[in-house]
């Protein structure tokens, strides 16, 4: 019978046929792309012109992954003797909490967009760094950096909020089961932190034998209204919150990183304010030399205080388009490959095979799907796209309309799978790779509010010995897929230690063997393949595509030579076992 081709793929309006078509290429070897050892990885692969989202999702959960139209996975030898064994890694977007480094990346991005920072490259070729964008009052249009005392105080003010008060507030909310702060309230809380007025600071300094700078937050006044009835007033909340911060000592080490002599002396409350006392070294070094003088108690760094003017504000946007060749994206890819990977041989055909071709079609997300719990507040300072369609997409990151990065992603019912990310080397100071991970987590969390099943962010492969991809475990809570049990295992300190001891080569991640020699799944697949070929009960029902016509394998083997018959049975049985028998029966096995 002829194959029903269904609608053609090519955009969000197209519909995916219910079956997947695959051409099995069996085992093959490929050079390691993560190190310079020259070793080959043993893989299993199949080429697919069409694959439905449900099948690819299930393959992802069996350690498979796609590159263009090639879907592949590593074999057991890679995990026992290979140089860079890959483990599928994912994070629950609704449970994700950014760490200090990720928050720092977001602070720098916000500061750059607000015009409070601008990039500068040193003449000696050092990495691009950031500096404050300020204007002198004397001399129209002249530029001058903020004076060192002001910069030090502003940095301390920012760190007190981002590293001390904000994380402690999040833990306080979780511990007491309070409603989360979102929208404008969450955005505005950081702006409540500033240096206390001289009178309050002198009162506190009188209690200490060290020079003290007092940073004060009025956040409890807004929070007491937000949690009306949970606390008597802002003073009660400030007392509880300051005690919580003091006991946890959250972010105290980060304050020490501001400079020599900086450390937190104590945290207390007064009249509804939370006060953080910090020693800043020699107080004589804090005399402001700015043209107008830094305003004591003025706006903090996030607001561009101290009498400074901002640079120009910028707008970050993320736009999502179906996977297609776009010249602007290709030119950025060539620039990225040449600068980051020292590869000057990029061509349109290779780029298209790698980042444009996809077997996934485009299916509209069904309306009225049940949502999950309310998503956490967004991380990135811009709107992330809405989920409307499943399929393969290019997410374009633009600053004031200029394309600065592209994220290639697959979106399915249960996850967003990140495939590749390219960025403009001129914007290396923004750490756009980290920004994209946070933006993709935002996308999943936002979509989950309407579609309960979509809550996981698949990051690709984790390789313990390769820093280029090992950073993915920093997005917590991370889970690794055990290649022999196909169970998702929490990547905690114990697993990290065991993986370090094993040099990154672990066939089983559960702390015990999964079958003989720990090769449980691979042994099971081998035995399953033998049983399939012997009994033909399930294997015979495999749908095979030959010259545009569908046949059941049990019918096909009746009319082919016996030598080819045995070879075909062995190959199809091994492929069916590697995909999972139930799913393989739903797919079409292409023979030519």
Q: What are the two backbone dihedrals, phi and then psi, of residue 363, each rounded to the nearest 5 degrees?
A: -120, 130
Q: What is the CA radius of gyration of the chain?
A: 28
Cα separation, 472 vs 478, in Å, equals 8
> Would you kindly state where each structural domain of the chain is located, as residue ranges?
21-89+514-590, 92-97+316-487, 134-303
Residue 217's nearest CA partner among 155, 165, 149 is 165
Say if CB 486 and CB 493 are below 8 A apart: no
Q: What is the SS3 string spanning 347-389?
A: CHHHHHHHHHCCCECCEECCCCCCCCCCCCCCCCCCCCCCCCE
Class at the top of the CATH hierarchy for domain 92-97+316-487: alpha beta
Cα separation, 224 vs 227, in Å, equals 5
Say if CB 442 and CB 109 are below 8 A apart: no
The pTM (predicted TM-score) of the whole model is 0.69
Q: How far is CA 307 from the centre of its chain?
A: 37
| 221 C-beta neighbours (distance < 10 Å), count | 17
| 163 C-beta neighbours (distance < 10 Å), count | 22
∠ CA 370-376-379, rounded to 5°: 125
* Cis amide prior to 477 (ω within 30 degrees): yes
- Report the number of secondary-structure helices (H) and strands (E) in the chain: 19, 22
Residue 555's nearest CA partner among 543, 538, 573 is 543
Burial of 136 (0-12, 13-18, 19+ CB in 10 A): middle
Instruction: Tell me the pLDDT of the chain (592 aa) as tens digits.
Output: 344 443 333 443 333 346 799 999 999 998 888 887 778 889 999 999 999 999 999 999 999 999 999 999 998 888 888 888 999 999 999 999 999 889 989 988 998 998 877 765 434 444 444 444 434 333 444 444 455 666 667 777 777 887 788 888 888 888 888 887 776 677 678 778 888 877 777 777 666 666 788 888 888 888 888 888 888 888 999 999 988 888 877 777 777 666 656 778 888 888 889 888 887 765 544 555 554 444 444 444 433 334 444 568 899 999 999 999 999 999 999 999 999 888 888 899 999 999 999 999 999 988 755 665 677 788 999 999 999 999 999 999 999 999 999 999 999 999 999 999 999 999 999 999 999 999 999 999 999 988 888 999 999 999 998 888 889 999 999 999 998 888 999 999 999 999 999 888 888 887 655 544 455 567 788 888 999 988 888 999 999 999 989 999 999 999 888 888 999 999 999 999 999 999 999 999 999 8
Classify the C-alpha dihedral 145-146-152-156 as positive or negative.
Answer: negative
Cα separation, 575 vs 185, in Å, equals 54
């Amino acid at each position: 019978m002829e194959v029903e081709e269904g609608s053609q793929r090519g955009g969000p309006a197209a519909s995916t046929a219910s079956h997947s078509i695959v051409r099995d290429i069996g085992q093959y070897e490929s050079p390691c792309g993560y190190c310079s050892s020259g070793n080959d990885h043993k893989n299993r692969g199949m080429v697919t012109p069409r694959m439905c989202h449900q099948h690819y999702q299930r393959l992802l959960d069996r350690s498979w992954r796609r590159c263009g139209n090639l879907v592949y996975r590593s074999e057991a030898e890679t995990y026992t003797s290979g140089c860079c064994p890959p483990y599928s890694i994912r994070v629950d977007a609704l449970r994700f909490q950014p760490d200090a480094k990720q928050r720092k990346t977001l602070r720098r991005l916000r500061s750059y967009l607000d015009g409070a920072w601008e990039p500068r490259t040193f003449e000696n070729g050092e990495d691009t760094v950031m500096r404050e964008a300020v204007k002198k009052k004397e001399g129209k249009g002249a530029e001058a950096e903020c004076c060192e005392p002001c910069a030090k105080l502003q940095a301390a003010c920012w760190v007190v909020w981002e590293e001390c008060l904000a994380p402690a507030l999040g833990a306080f909310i979780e511990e007491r089961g309070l409603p989360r702060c979102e929208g404008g309230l969450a955005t505005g809380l950081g702006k409540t932190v500033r240096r206390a007025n001289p009178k309050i600071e002198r009162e506190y300094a009188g209690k200490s034998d060290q020079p003290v700078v007092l940073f004060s937050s009025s956040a409890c006044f807004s929070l007491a209204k937000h949690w009306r009835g949970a606390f008597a007033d802002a003073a009660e909340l400030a007392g509880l919150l300051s005690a919580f911060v003091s006991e946890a000592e959250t972010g105290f080490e980060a304050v020490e990183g501001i400079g020599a002599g900086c450390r937190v002396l104590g945290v207390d409350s007064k009249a509804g304010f939370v006060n953080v006392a910090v020693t800043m070294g020699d107080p004589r070094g804090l005399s402001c030399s700015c043209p107008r003088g830094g305003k004591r108690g003025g706006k903090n760094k996030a607001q561009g205080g101290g009498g400074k003017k901002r640079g120009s504000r910028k707008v970050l946007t993320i736009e999502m388009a179906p996977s297609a060749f776009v010249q602007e994206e290709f030119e950025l890819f060539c620039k990225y490959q040449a600068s980051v990977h020292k590869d000057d041989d990029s061509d349109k055909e290779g780029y298209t095979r790698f980042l444009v071709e996809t077997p996934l079609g485009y299916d509209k997300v069904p309306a009225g799907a049940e949502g999950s719990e309310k998503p956490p507040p967004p991380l990135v300072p811009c709107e992330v796209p809405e989920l409307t369609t499943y399929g393969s997409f290019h997410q374009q990151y633009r600053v004031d309309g200029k394309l600065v990065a592209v994220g290639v992603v697959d979106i399915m019912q249960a996850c967003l799978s990140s495939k590749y990310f390219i960025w403009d080397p001129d914007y290396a100071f923004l750490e756009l790779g980290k920004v994209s991970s946070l933006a993709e987590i935002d996308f999943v969390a936002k979509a989950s509010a309407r579609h309960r099943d979509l809550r996981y962010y698949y990051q690709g492969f984790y390789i313990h010995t390769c820093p280029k991809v090992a950073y993915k475990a920093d997005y917590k809570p991370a889970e690794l897929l055990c290649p022999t049990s196909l169970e998702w295992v929490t990547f905690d300190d114990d697993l990290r230690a065991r993986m370090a001891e094993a040099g990154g080569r672990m066939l089983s991640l559960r702390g015990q063997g999964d079958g003989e020699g720990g090769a449980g799944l691979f042994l099971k697949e081998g035995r399953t393949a033998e049983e399939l070929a012997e009994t033909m009960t399930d294997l015979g029902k495999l749908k095979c595509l030959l010259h545009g016509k569908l046949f059941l394998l049990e019918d096909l083997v009746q009319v082919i030579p016996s030598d080819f018959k045995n070879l075909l049975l062995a190959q199809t049985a091994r492929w069916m076992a590697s995909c999972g028998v139930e799913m393989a029966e739903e797919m079409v096995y292409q023979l030519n």
